[in-house]
Chain A
Amino acid sequence: MKKETLPKILKSSAILIGLIVLVVFFAIVTKGQSITLRNLKLILGQSIILMLVSTGVFFVMTLGCMDFSVGANLALSCYVMAKVSTVNIPLGIILTLVTGLIIGCWNGVIHAKLKLPSFLVTLSTMYILNGLVIQLTASEPVPVPFELFKLDEFAFKIPLLFVVLFIAYYLFRYTRFGSDCRMIGAGETAAIYSGIDVDKVKIQAFCIAGVLASLAGFMNGIRTGAASANAGSDMPFNVLIALVIGGLPSGGGAKSRFSAPVIGSILISVLSNGLVLINLAPMVQNLVKGIIFIVLIIIMAEKQMPKFLHKKTIGVLAEEKLSQ
């Protein structure tokens, strides 16, 4: 038994070890610059937004689906907040979250009820929202009311983040919903045959992703002080890579762990921050992330999928459906 447990512990904490190695690496390369209190605060500030969004997408990806619309959702929510808050701040916050809920609900309903692949649905949502935001902001940022800047304090943001994480963890671990999400991701057909209301669970998951993205939009608004069209444009990929790097199987399923969005987001924030500190050109930064992502996918693909299971066909549109 002992022989089995040691590698098991190593395996389960591989991501944590990776994080520590990364921190140490950047600390050495930047000669301690990266572990100053100021920089750590910066990393934390960056990772809060990413963590909120990836926690929402985590549920969607556990289902085996994908949500690309979170970035555009963030931008639109941010705009709604900036606009409505000038009239009434509580109303602004509520409408921001409602915006996210509607977008998430739209994604979920179109995907589940019309049976269209989730990546196409959410990409389409992303285009629509992008167009909308560009139109609305008319290419110049809309300022956020001054009073809201006061909220840009860790004293407010950290407790809020913990509340969100706690609720999400509770949902995932201690309710039927979380269990259903994992089961659908692991085997949708069998889940249907076992009486899980797959459509309902899917819509709920997309709603959570939508609301959390709009909450991130709110956070983004109070951090940057304005709503702009290109806010959150790098979000879809950053979320995806955070979740994968955090150890989420690329097809979702029973092996999904809640640590993925939390540790993954911190890891990506440390990585992004480190790449900036060592003065890497922005384009190369993305290249590095992309390569890390692909390498991780290749390594993990072999481990996470039993041999007999065919790869999931997220990107496949059956030809028989096309030709009818």
Chain B
Amino acid sequence: MNKLKKGMVLVGALVITYVVFKILQPSRFGSLSSMFILLQQCMISVIMAYGTYFLLEMGAFDMTLGANAILSAIVGCRLSVIFGLPGLLIGALITGACLGLVNGIMTSKIKAPSMIISVGLVIIYESLGLVVMGGGSTLRIDSQFRGLGMAPWSIVISLMIAAIIFFLDRYTCFGVHVNAIGSSEPIARSMGININKTKITAFLISGVCAALMGVVNLCYNTTISAATNLSSTTTVFQPLMACMIGLAFKKHMNPIVAILLGSFFLALLQNGLLTNGLESSMQNIFVGVALLVVIKVTSNPRRYDVIK
């Protein structure tokens, strides 16, 4: 009963946020149709959040996912012109998988701070995106693929990812190994769990999810433009925050559901602020502030812990 109660905190936060904004802006906020649009957007970003789940569980984190999503989507978009839907999907997913793999190998094998390596990789992925894009500032996807980003399909895709992540977490050795490494890496190693292999696999999964999110997002928005100078990292943090909220409630409810709720909560909050007169250029400010708050609330460092 207690378990359920704590889980309800998240649902409660959602409801309260909704009610508060509805009272503040009864006409402009919270109509059923706008909520549905919000849900669609949230379903897209949650794909990446699910991807980072295993990484976060192990205490790792991948800043390149945003650049990965953009580059994979650009590759998919280019290939869709030639090969159609298979080109779009397979091209993007293979790109995403490769980038994830590179990331995993680099961060687990090189003895340098993973942050620093990530920054280098983000710059490379971002400029590769520009190179693949070739010239123009935006790339448009053929309207026939639009459906992939719209209601039934985008939701089907993210639910599918949710199911896969749930399955991996619950019913495979990989899930247990991730849990064990997150709990204590030395003990996990002594029990014969291959740490590097597990980590690289997790990076691979997150890469594929990021690519998928990139494609669905592209289909939803119909256009994509490349990012420069680390601006792609903004895309990472909303899913990351959702995932952190999900993990914080892990003990009290199914993390897969909690991530979805967390993602929806953040989207609702942002939407509410926007309808209350926050201009869209202030979105970055929202991400910045929310990032600090979410991390502070979900983390609990002790005195004299070393945090760089």
* Chain A positions near chain B (C-beta within 8 angstroms): 63-66, 68, 71, 110-111, 114-121, 123-128, 130-132, 134-135, 188-189, 192, 233-234, 236-237, 240-241, 244, 250-251, 283-287, 289-291, 293-294, 297-298, 300-302, 305, 311-324
User: Closest approach, in angstroms, between the C-beta of B225 and any C-beta of chain A?
Assistant: 13
Residues A116 and B113 in contact, CB atoms below 8 Å apart: no
Q: Tell me the bound Cα distance from A110 to B292 in angstroms.
A: 9
* Given known A192-B304, A286-B126, A317-B59, contact A323–B113 (CB-CB < 8 A): no
Most A-side CB within 10 Å, residue of B115, B119, B279: B115
Q: Return the chain A residue nearest B125 by Cβ.
A: A290
Residues B123 and A66 in contact, CB atoms below 8 Å apart: no
Q: Tell me the bound Cα distance from A323 to B279 in angstroms.
A: 34
Contacts of A241 in B (CB 8 A): 120
Q: Tell me the bound Cα distance from A125 to B287 in angstroms.
A: 10
* Given known A65-B308, A283-B130, A322-B244, contact A120–B291 (CB-CB < 8 A): yes
Residues B295 and A116 in contact, CB atoms below 8 Å apart: yes
Q: Is the interface of B mostly helix, strand, loop or mixed?
A: helix
Q: Tell me the bound Cα distance from A318 to B283 in angstroms.
A: 28
User: Closest approach, in angstroms, between the C-beta of A167 and any C-beta of chain B?
Assistant: 26
Q: Which of B119-163 contact A (CB under 8 A)?
A: 119-121, 123-124, 126-128, 130-131
Residues B61 and A316 in contact, CB atoms below 8 Å apart: yes
Residues B308 and A127 in contact, CB atoms below 8 Å apart: no
Contacts of B183 in A (CB 8 A): 319-320
Q: Tell me the bound Cα distance from A121 to B248 in angstroms.
A: 20
Partner of A301 from the list B111, B124, B296 (CB cut-off 8 Å) is B111
Pairs across A and B, CB under 8 Å, 29 listed: A66-B116, A115-B301, A116-B295, A123-B233, A124-B292, A125-B288, A126-B288, A127-B288, A131-B281, A131-B288, A135-B281, A188-B308, A233-B231, A240-B116, A250-B112, A285-B127, A289-B123, A311-B112, A311-B113, A313-B308, A314-B114, A315-B113, A317-B59, A317-B295, A318-B299, A319-B182, A319-B183, A322-B247, A323-B251
Chain B 292-308 near chain A by CB (<8 Å), digits 1 or 0: 10011011110011111
Interface size range of chain B in the complex? 35 or more
User: Closest approach, in angstroms, between the C-beta of A67 and any C-beta of chain B?
Assistant: 12
Contacts of B182 in A (CB 8 A): 319
Q: Tell me the bound Cα distance from A238 to B247 in angstroms.
A: 35
Interface residue? B234 (CB, 8 A):
yes
Residues B307 and A290 in contact, CB atoms below 8 Å apart: no
The list of the 6 closest CB pairs from A to B, nearest first, reads: A127-B288, A283-B130, A131-B284, A128-B288, A131-B285, A290-B124
User: Closest approach, in angstroms, between the C-beta of A26 and any C-beta of chain B?
Assistant: 20
Most A-side CB within 10 Å, residue of B119, B128, B284, B308: B308
Residues A294 and B296 in contact, CB atoms below 8 Å apart: no
* Given known A189-B306, A322-B56, contact A290–B289 (CB-CB < 8 A): no
Partner of B115 from the list A285, A315, A322 (CB cut-off 8 Å) is A315
